[in-house]
Amino acid sequence: MIHAVQDAAHPGPDPQSADFLDRFAETIRAESGMDLPHDYFVAEARLRLSRRTVPSSGGPESSACFDCWAKGEHVA
């Protein structure tokens, strides 16, 4: 994971391009071992790129993380 974030932080392909985000999201998904929707990992990729740091945890800890992301502000 450290290498993916470091690679993303270096100049090169546009980190906001859809192709770059998709590849970075797939890397995060593969390294996390979690089976969550691709959109979740795209959002995580955007978040990590905006921080430009390596997160302290290795990925989502439980389904509660997914529930919070999936439901967002649309919970009735």
Work out the pLDDT band at 51, boundaries 50, 70, 90. confident
* Residue range 11-18: mean pLDDT, rounded: 70
The residue that leads in pLDDT, 14 or 60, is 14
Tokens of 24: 């970075």
Residues whose CB is less than 8 angstroms from the CB of residue 28 and which lie 6 or more positions away in sequence, other chains included = 1, 4, 41, 44, 45, 48, 59
Structurally, the chain folds into a number of domains equal to 1
The residue that leads in pLDDT, 13 or 44, is 44
Domain boundaries, position 59: 2-74
* Residue range 25-52: mean pLDDT, rounded: 90
pLDDT at 8: 53
Residues whose CB is less than 8 angstroms from the CB of residue 5 and which lie 6 or more positions away in sequence, other chains included = 48, 52, 53, 54
